[in-house]
């Protein structure tokens, strides 16, 4: 009897959220190489909450099972909590029917602590459990002030999460610092595997400015473009970037924000209320247009709250690495990305509170085209050597074949 490999995540194809895209990309690329039936248990919602998807679909021989949930969306925390709760319940009962003895159940981390639902089902059905950690919850929520640290709720959620991590045969994490944190919580290091994320579109290539139609369409001709592409949410630095925009009023400089998120809206409101002329905004771009949208930048901006190091790795790093445009990282110098940027000389880093120094660094690099070219070359080499999607595909195949 053919075994089933069942992934659980709240979003999947055709959704464009980061977790959906990377899961979709993985399954399309490994499905034919493993003798098993592939299933995804997901929701009918999209990340943008703009449509409802049909309950069942077959995509590249992957059986998509979309369970019913509420669909309040991400606008407020209470509505999001109902969306989470309804997914936990629907996914649990659906998995009870779907999972058989010896199957492989892989839980991602959207919604938070879905790994505990996967643990309950895999234990009841005697299936193999794997966790794929994109972040550590409730620690992330605690650092962001969404849940009070050491409260009853915080400790209860952490206990449930740790039960599922200790019970899993493999815990896949996306960085070395995350691996260390997971091990520090009592998880056997032998069951922890580091598999870094990757750019979900391996066809993205740098487009020269003279061939990039977005340069003129977005009124960027002759500008030095500092671009923030992707979700700009609670996990990212906001005040330093706002101050940097105010500090860098050189008419050659344009800050471009592509995407969405809580702080995306806040920056937009701030720019409009302050009548700032050096800030532009664009919505999320389709995958087929990423090579153009990512290539408009002279410098890509990445930020992460220092308190979240080891709990999160910003996914936008991988797309930027694939395009080879130098990056400015605002965050902890010895963090996951900070260390890479320094070691590989593919951009520069700055402490969040040092926005004046950041502005000086930007002014300096604007007048140093050779320096930009060198950083770009270093980043492209880094991507080729360490961040090719095939590296991750192979590691996932090796894990899954152990149970088939």
Domain ranges of the chain: 4-198+388-401, 209-386
Region of poorest pLDDT, from 171-185, 201-215, 317-331, 352-366: 352-366
The pTM of the full predicted model, rounded to 2 decimals, is 0.88
Close Cβ partners of 336 (under 8 Å, ≥ 6 residues apart): 175, 176, 177, 178, 309, 310, 313
Q: What is the per-residue pLDDT for 395?
A: 96
Q: What is the per-residue pLDDT for 48?
A: 81
HSE toward the beta carbon, residue 13, CA cutoff 13 A: 21
Please write the tens of the pLDDT for every residue from 55-105. 999 999 999 999 999 999 887 888 899 999 999 999 999 999 999 999 999
- Order of strands across the sheet with 224-231? 279-282, 253-260, 224-231, 299-303, 327-330, 347-350
Region of poorest pLDDT, from 40-44, 144-148, 306-310, 386-390: 386-390
Please write the tens of the pLDDT for every residue from 230-265. 888 888 888 888 888 888 888 889 999 999 888 999
Please write the tens of the pLDDT for every residue from 277-289. 899 999 988 878 8
Yes or no: say if 69 and 86 are a contact pair by the CB < 8 Å rule.
yes
Angle at 283 between CA 277 and CA 284, to 5 degrees: 135
Please give the span between the terminal C-alpha atoms of the chain, in angstroms, as a whole number. 11
Q: Select the CATH number that applies to the domain covering 209-386 from these four: 3.40.50.2000, 3.40.50.1110, 3.60.20.10, 3.50.50.60.
A: 3.40.50.2000
Yes or no: say if 196 and 388 are a contact pair by the CB < 8 Å rule.
no
Fold of 4-198+388-401: Rossmann fold (3.40.50)
Q: What is the per-residue pLDDT for 287?
A: 77
Pairing of strands 62-67, 56-59: antiparallel
Q: Categorize the per-residue pLDDT at 202 as very low, low, confident or very high, splitting at 50, 70 and 90.
A: low
Residues composing the chain = 404
Q: What is the per-residue pLDDT for 119?
A: 98
Q: What is the per-residue pLDDT for 203?
A: 62
Domains 4-198+388-401 and 209-386 share a fold: yes
Q: Is the pLDDT of residue 185 over 90?
A: yes
For residue 11, the cross-strand partners are none
Percent of the chain residues topping a pLDDT of 70? 99
């Amino acid at each position: 009897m053919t075994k089933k490999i069942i992934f659980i995540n709240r979003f999947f194809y055709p959704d464009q959220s980061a977790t959906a895209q990377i899961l979709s990309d993985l399954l399309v690329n490994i499905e034919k190489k493993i003798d098993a039936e592939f299933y995804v248990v997901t929701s009918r919602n999209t990340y943008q909450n703009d449509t409802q998807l049909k309950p069942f679909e077959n995509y590249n021989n992957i059986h998509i099972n979309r369970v019913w949930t509420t669909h309040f969306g991400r606008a407020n925390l209470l509505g999001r909590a109902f969306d989470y709760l309804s997914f936990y319940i629907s996914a649990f009962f659906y998995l009870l029917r779907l999972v058989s003895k010896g199957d492989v159940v892989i839980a991602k981390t959207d919604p938070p602590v879905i790994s505990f639902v996967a643990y309950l089902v895999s234990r009841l059905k005697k299936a193999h459990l794997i966790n794929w950690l994109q972040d550590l919850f409730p620690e992330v929520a605690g650092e962001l002030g969404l849940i009070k640290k050491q409260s009853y709720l915080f400790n209860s959620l952490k206990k449930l999460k740790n039960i599922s991590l200790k019970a899993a045969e493999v815990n896949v994490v996306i960085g070395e610092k995350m691996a260390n944190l997971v091990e520090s919580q009592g998880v056997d290091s032998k069951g922890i595997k580091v598999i870094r994320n990757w750019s979900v579109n391996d066809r993205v290539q740098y487009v020269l400015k003279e061939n990039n139609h977005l340069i003129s369409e977005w009124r960027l001709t002759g500008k030095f473009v500092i671009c923030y592409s992707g979700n700009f949410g609670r996990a990212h630095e906001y005040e330093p970037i706002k101050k940097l925009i105010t500090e860098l009023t050189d008419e050659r400089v344009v800050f471009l924000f592509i995407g969405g998120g809580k702080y995306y809206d806040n920056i937009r409101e701030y720019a409009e209320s302050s009548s700032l002329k050096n800030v532009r905004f664009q919505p999320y771009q389709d995958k087929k247009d990423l090579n153009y949208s990512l290539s408009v930048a002279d410098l890509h901006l990445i930020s992460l709250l220092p308190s979240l190091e080891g709990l999160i790795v910003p996914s936008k790093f991988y797309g930027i690495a694939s395009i080879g445009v130098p990056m400015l990282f605002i965050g902890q110098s010895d963090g996951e990305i900070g260390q890479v940027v320094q070691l590989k000389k593919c951009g520069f880093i700055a402490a969040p509170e040092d926005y004046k120094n950041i502005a000086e660094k930007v002014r300096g690099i604007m007048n140093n085209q050779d320096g930009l070219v060198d950083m770009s070359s270093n980043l492209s080499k880094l991507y080729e050597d360490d961040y090719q999607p095939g590296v991750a595909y192979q590691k996932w195949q090796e894990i899954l074949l152990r149970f088939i």
